[in-house]
Structure 1
């Protein structure tokens, strides 16, 4: 805290507000917050500061969208996410900032390309993963493999840089979730995953009294962002919503890959 300038604190506060907005409106937009935190603070340490702020945003999002969460999808994801979190923890034991940024940026761009390809080849098909599961009495074809692959990547990226949001956004878009189902499922998923990451963050030395002091100064800025996001989300149509999510993911991936 003693080494941060007023302008740096203002940038972190704005990035914290964007976390709240992303949790209640455009998931994936917080890749910008990730970039700001990594620019103002050391990239590795910034993940420890950002995690409690993300949890605060998750709590607000769950309070708003909990009725729209699709739990069968979440239950398919969690085992694979656990594998990814463990892999990410092992990666953090030896990886430097450059390796973390390059790896995650490449994954995000790859997943964006896969999602765009899937959407193009699936043109004309409608409905959500939830409705398809209700009709067939079980997971839709390919759902298990998709959940495992995205789950491992999401767990890995969320552990090493709190960048699991874009990966899971791509998964939910590829599964055909509509806007409220997307936000509700995403909110419940990340609240559970981010809380489970806290012991790992403490063990790696990423969360300590210094990082929590910064969090105490910033966390209230999540609230206005979440309020703005909730006010805006009903005015964003589905196609624009999906384009914003994909656009934020691509920009986040490019930033991490090229910085």
Structure 2
């Protein structure tokens, strides 16, 4: 065990395995729930190094999610987000050069709670128009484009510094009117592409190395049962409960980041 990052105890490894399974569940059922996994990894391992260990596990979950929901992605939304996300990733990389763990956790926790509050407010003031799997063109108006850029930059920033972009993108997709399948398909492709693009940055920052990959090799198998359970559960969760779970997971993740 001494060859692994932080030399986690047996109970620490059990916690990491459970968190890896939760990654799989979040990718195929309740996006944003993996903020709990983020908190577990940061509690068991050194906070900075934990982001490098978690990234390959997230990519494994992304691959399973794409395999399951690949036909439900809304590509106009993705193309609208990617340029802003790239800006956020670059800002996040620069931030990691000088920010300590406390600054990272506080910043992201505050952002998540703020955006959850904004989403709840928007939902209370929204009309009763039913969303569809093919989301409305939220980029057709100037306000829609500004919103996409704002969420994109925040998503890129949070995913780079702490793998915490899931809640930000979840809130954006909910606000754009996605139902479950469109939400999960668009999110799956988004994070597979973005997380894969983050790998060179993480290697350059020293967050991914031989030790982190060894720990990943021990944990990645737990992603699969989590994804299978998530796929089984998603068809049994109605739309309103699904949205509440996503927002609840976002708030829980934000609070955990602030209290850690």
TM-score (norm: length of structure 1): 0.96
The aligned counterpart of 1:25 is 29
| Structure 1 position 146, deviation (Å) | 1.1
Matches of 1:170 and 1:246, distance apart in 2:
7
2:133–2:179 contact (8 Å) kept in structure 1: no
Residues 129 and 63 (structure 1), Cα distance of their counterparts in 2 relative to 1, 3 Å cut: closer
The 3-state SS of whatever aligns with 1:176 is coil
Q: What SS does the corresponding residue of 2:99 show, helix, strand or coil?
A: coil
2:124 and 2:142 map into 1 onto residues whose CA distance is 18
RMSD: 1.3
Q: Which residue of 2 aligns with 1:69?
A: 73
Alignment partner of 2:103 out of 99, 105, 108? 99
Unaligned runs of 5+ in 1: none
1:155 and 1:179 mapped to 2: Cα distance?
23
In 1, the alpha carbon distance for the partners of 2:134 and 2:61 equals: 25
The number of aligned residues is 256
Preserved CA contact (<8 Å) 2:12 2:44: yes
CA distances 1:135-159 after superposition (whole Å, capped 9, x unpaired): x9x7356321111000000000000
- Could you say if the C-alpha distance between residues 184 and 129 of structure 1 is closer, same or farther in structure 2, counting changes exceeding 3 Å? closer
Alpha-carbon distance, 1:87 to partner: 0.2
* Unaligned segments of structure 2, at least 5 residues: none
Question: Does residue 169 of structure 1 match 2:173?
Answer: no
- Asked if 1 retains the 8 angstrom alpha-carbon contact of 2:135 and 2:176, the reply is no
Q: Which residue is 2:44 aligned to?
A: 40
Distance 1:250 1:151 in 2: 19
Structure 1 residue 4, shift from structure 2 partner:
1.7
Corresponding residue number in structure 1 for 2:212: 211
Q: Is the 8 A contact 1:104 1:157 kept in 2?
A: yes
Aligned equivalents of 2:16 and 2:145: distance in 1? 38
Paired with 1:105 and 1:80, the residues of 2 have a C-alpha distance of: 21
| Equivalent in the alignment of 2:87 | 83
TM-score by length of 2: 0.96
Alpha-carbon distance in 2 for matches of 1:193, 1:64: 18
- Runs of 4+ in structure 1 off by over 6 angstroms are none
Deviation at 1:131, TM superposition (A): 4.7
Conserved? CA contact 2:108–2:254, under 8 Å: yes
